Structure 1
Amino acid sequence: MVSIDCRDGLWPDPPESPESTAFVAAAREGRFLLRRCIACGKAHWYPRARCPFCFGETAWEEASGRGTVYSYTVLAREAPPRSLAYVALEEGPIMLTSLVSCNSSSLAVGQAVTLVFERSQNGTPVPCFRPAAGG
């Protein structure tokens, strides 16, 4: 069994942009935001001002931070190994992320996960996921 620990401070700094300011501010408060299209109603990840589905205007909304593993891989050659996954968020979008605080041999597609913010080199919160309690 390989345990993958949180590795605060080793995450690269996310690029800064005017579109990410509200997301980062909310993340610093422990809140996870998504953008949802005002016209078609679809939520999407990565947050952007225009909807990737219909090009309509979008608005921020607080997300649940819950999802399920859609697909994953274990990077076994890294020391320590780490896991990358596509997580299907409860709100609909699928996001590429890291799985942390987990046992790589017990990961499974469909497994419930919850959001946890790791810290990048400059302290910016980075959204990651870990297995949900009881899941």
Structure 2
Amino acid sequence: MKNKVRNATEFLKPLPDPDAISSEYWRAATEGRLLIQECPTCGHRQWYPRALCTECSSDTQWLECSGLGTVNTFTIIRQYGMQPFKQELPYIVAMIELEEGPLIMGNITDCDVETVRIGDPVSVWFLKIEEGIGIPYWSPDA
């Protein structure tokens, strides 16, 4: 499922450093696709990208997700002294439970931070930073 992609005009935060294990994940994000790993041996699904299945140590394969989930837990960041994070205060850091099972950490955007609640449905969107690197963000579903 292809999700919304927005292009960054300026991105001053630290960038991910894709490696042999995670580069496919970051590349898919630039295309509006959210990937997790799935084990063909035991069926376990996991995020973040790892070399092997965390349940049975088998090789994994990529699984494209729906981009839908629910807020599992979150915190509102109200103080942060370092730029460029300071200019975005307040902002939400959340654990999102994907429809496919795993938890993924991200920021919830496009809403008043005071309105977010545990259990709220959210959907992913991506900020394309540069070729090969897209960052997933989450927005509340109306």
| TM-score, shorter chain, exceeding 0.5 | yes
Question: d(CA) in 2 for partners of 1:99 and 1:45?
Answer: 18
Alignment coverage as a number of residue pairs:
126
Residue equivalent to 1:99:
108
CA distance in structure 2 between the aligned counterparts of 1:38 and 1:49, rounded to whole angstroms: 14
- Mean CA deviation greater in 108-117 or 18-27: 18-27
Unaligned 5+ segments in structure 2 are: 1-5, 81-85
Residue 25 of structure 1 deviates from its aligned partner by 2.1
Could you tell me how far 1:12 is from its partner in structure 2?
A: 2.0
User: Would the aligned equivalents of 1:11 and 1:119 in 2 still touch at CA under 8 Å?
Assistant: no
Who is 2:136 aligned against? 127
1:62 paired with 2:71, answer: no
The answer for the alignment partner of 1:73 in structure 2 is 75
Q: Distance in 1 between matches of 2:28 and 2:128?
A: 14
* 1:29 alignment partner in structure 2: 31
1:73 is displaced (CA, Å) by 0.4
Compared with structure 1, are the counterparts of its residues 66 and 87 closer, same or farther at alpha carbon in structure 2 (3 Å cutoff)?
same
Runs of 4+, deviation exceeding 3 Å? none
- Match for residue 86 of structure 1? 95
Aligned mates of 1:125, 1:45 — CA distance in 2: 16
From 99, 108, 114, the counterpart of 2:117 = 108
Does the 8 Å CA contact 2:18/2:26 hold for their aligned counterparts?
Answer: no
Match of 1:48 among 40, 47, 50: 50
CA 1:10–1:90: 2 relative to 1, 3 Å: farther
> In 2, are the aligned partners of 1:98 and 1:128 still within 8 Å (CA)?
yes
- Please give the alpha-carbon distance, in whole angstroms, between the structure 2 residues aligned to 1:87 and 1:47: 16
**TM-score normalised by the chain length of structure 2:** 0.81
% identical aligned pairs: 33
- How far, CA to CA, are the matches of 2:32 and 2:17 in structure 1? 19
Query: How do 1:5-16 and structure 2 match up within 5 A?
Result: 8=8, 9-16=11-18
CA distance change for structure 1 residues 119 and 20 in 2, over 3 Å: closer, same or farther?
Answer: same
Q: CA deviation at 1:97?
A: 1.2
